Amino acid sequence: MRSFVVGGAGFIGSHLIDRLIMRGPVTAYDNMSVGKREFLATHLASGQVTLVEADALDLDKLTAAMRGHDVVFHLAANPEARWGLERTRLDLEQGTIATYNALEAARLIRAKQFVLASSGTVYGNIDAACGEMDLGHLPISLYGASKLAGEAMVAAFAECFDLDGYICRFGNVVGPRGTHGAILDFCKKLKAHPDYLDVLGDGRQAKPYLHVRDCVLGLLFVLDHARGERPAVYNLAPGDQTSLKRIAALCVAASPNRHARIEFGTGAQGWRGDVPRSRLKPDKLAALGFRVGYSSDDAVRLAVGEVAREVFGSPV
């Protein structure tokens, strides 16, 4: 299997590549806007991975680099949903158009399988556990809108061009080498000012947190076991959720100053477009035989330790 990972130098991409190299050669394609060469350093040194530093918005370069690969993972996207509030074209370009380009390149080179990293944000603002068919509420952020548009394109390319398309809707992914997200934000803030932690929103936001190890195992499971659906859509997340209040408390406890004050904002949302409370039903993937190893609380607890070690530089 020859794998091509768009966004391969990023958080999830680099963890995915740690596993993909056991299946054959891998190319990471990344514009390095967020991704880091050091995440792939060992594999680059051993020659198991090739890194192409280029943009997914450049269709010619993307197609040329993708040639000769059979499986494409598309992980590149705007890393911060809230940036869409300031730059309204961001998700159109980095989400919708980049996904079109990845699909078009996969079509041109006749790739066999295409996996899209999507998100639970496609379900919109609904405080009920959502299964794959519960799309009645629609996304409330430009990021979520671009994910749903990308999903629709995977479905259309799969139908029109005989490409096996797979869509995984992740919960919030946590773990080492994170490039963004609440745990990293909180630890960085506590490093900058150890005495207090300000939290966007009232802290009652609660979401499913998926450890990156489970995320990677789930992606590979889908690739190996999902058959016959066009496209195959799966929630990839634990069924439970963890509150932001709990994450803040764990980050403070893991920081050098365990007595740091936590200052919550007001309002249910961290920012406009943020889905304050969400839950994903993992039943469809479970029926195929995959269950995540970590509950949301366990994933968060583990990840806080991992990220704290990276940010504060010593065991906690």
Spatial separation of the C-alpha atoms in residues 311 and 21, rounded to whole Å: 28
In whole angstroms, the minimum distance from the beta carbon of 211 to ligand NAD comes to 11
CA-to-CA distance for 282 and 130, rounded, in angstroms?
Answer: 9
Output the CA–CA distances (angstroms, integers) from residue 19 to 42, 69, 166, 221, 256, in the order listed: 13, 17, 18, 12, 33
Q: Is 179 in the site for ligand NAD (CB under 6 A)?
A: yes
CA distance linking residue 20 with residue 96, whole number of Å: 26
119 binds ligand NAD (CB under 6 A): yes
Q: How far is the CB of 65 from ligand NAD (least distance, A)?
A: 10
CA distance 295 to 283: 14
Q: Does 55 bind ligand NAD (CB under 6 A)?
A: yes
Residue 195 CB coordination number (10 Å): 9
Q: What's the rounded Cα separation, in Å, for the pair 227 and 210?
A: 24
- The answer to whether 57 contacts ligand NAD (rule: CB under 6 A) is yes
Q: How far is the CB of 163 from ligand NAD (least distance, A)?
A: 18
Q: Does 13 bind ligand NAD (CB under 6 A)?
A: yes
Q: Find out whether 244 and 199 touch, Cβ atoms under 8 Å.
A: yes
CB of 15 or CB of 189, closer to ligand NAD: 15
By CB under 6 A, how many residues form the interface with ligand NAD?
Answer: 28
**Between the CA of residue 156 and those of 2, 29, 102, 131, 287, what are the distances in Å?**
24, 24, 13, 21, 25
d(CA 16, CA 9): 10
Residue 76 in contact with ligand NAD, rule: CB under 6 A: yes
- Classify 297 as helix, strand or coil: helix
24-32, 124-132, 262-270, 289-297 -> range binding ligand NAD (CB under 6 A)? 24-32
Specify the stretch interacting with ligand NAD by CB under 6 A; choose among 44-52, 168-176, 250-258, 293-301.
168-176
The minimum distance between CB 171 and ligand NAD, in angstroms, equals: 7
**Which of 32, 41, 138, 156 is in the footprint of ligand NAD by CB under 6 A?**
32
Selected range binding ligand NAD among 31-39, 102-110, 246-254, 270-278, rule: CB under 6 A: 31-39
- The site for ligand NAD (CB under 6 A) is made up of 7, 9-13, 30-35, 55-57, 75-77, 79, 94, 98, 117, 119, 170, 172-173, 179, 181
